[in-house]
Amino acid sequence: LSLSRKNYNVGLFDLDIHGPTSHIILGIEESKLKSSKRGLEPLQHNNMKVMSIAFLIGDNPLPVFGNAKSSVISDLISNTAWEELDYLIVDLPPGTGDEVVLALRVFKQTNHGFAIVATPSVLSISVVQRLVELLRDEKINILGLIENIATLPDGTPHPGDRVLAEFLAKNDIRLLGKIPYIRELEEYLLEKRELTGLEKFGKPLQSIVEEIIRSF
């Protein structure tokens, strides 16, 4: 949304096959896709295009794995009819599963960049370390890391900040910005209000978006 408000043509591609949530965060209720000769047409929402597996399966589970899962991901990527875009944001699940590996190998042929999102905890960092190694093996351009839930509910710094700082220094990865703990987040989601209107979220996000734009 922050990019689209800068008059960029933006697409959001939620490739989390088992737990898509982008449509919930955006408050998208109408999810009937249209098809054309070019393929499936992404939904138009607030001046950007959005595609998610949730638009095809609703709230039903998708119990696929292995080759079947890879096939679902490949079909969704190849059959989505994007218009000419300035930015395509691909939302991937945590870890190094099929969605992540397949998306990396498809999109690394483009002018790409990978922004890592992580919480400042030992458990999170252990998962992210494996992801970083995969990204470098695949020769993916790492833009940097976004620290999520960077503060405690009382606004003080998260005790895991030191662990995260050590991780960034060890891997020579820059910090793109910090998103604090936001008490009002659930209320905004329930009321289907735009998160960019929440200053605690929108202000740091705007700074992060500027950092990402400068990376290209």
Residue 213 has pLDDT above 80, yes or no: yes
Classified as helix, coil or strand, 142 is: strand
pLDDT at 165: 96
List the chain domain ranges.
1-94, 113-216
Encode 97-109: b = buried (16+ Cβ within 10 Å), e = exposed: bbbbebbbebbee
Check if CATH label 3.40.50.300 holds for domain 113-216: yes
Residue 97 has pLDDT above 90, yes or no: no
Residue 175 tokens read as 């910090």
Least-confidence region, from 77-81, 118-122, 203-207 = 203-207
Give dist(CA 202, CA 210) in Å, integer. 12
Least-confidence region, from 19-33, 87-101, 110-124 = 19-33
- Note if the pTM is more than 0.85: yes
Give dist(CA 141, CA 109) in Å, integer. 11
pLDDT at 197: 65
Which CATH homologous superfamily contains domain 1-94?
Answer: P-loop containing nucleotide triphosphate hydrolases (3.40.50.300)
**Most confidently modeled of 18-22, 25-29, 152-156, 164-168?**
164-168
Regarding predicted confidence, which is higher, 1 or 142?
142
pLDDT at 52: 94
**Residue 202 — pLDDT band, cuts 50, 70, 90?**
confident
**Residue 185 — pLDDT band, cuts 50, 70, 90?**
confident
Average pLDDT, the chain: 89
Distances (CA, A) of 152 to 86, 88, 155, 181: 36, 32, 5, 6
Q: Which residues contact 152 (CB under 8 A, 6 or more apart)?
A: 158, 159, 181
pLDDT at 196: 63
Least-confidence region, from 11-25, 40-54, 133-147, 180-194 = 180-194
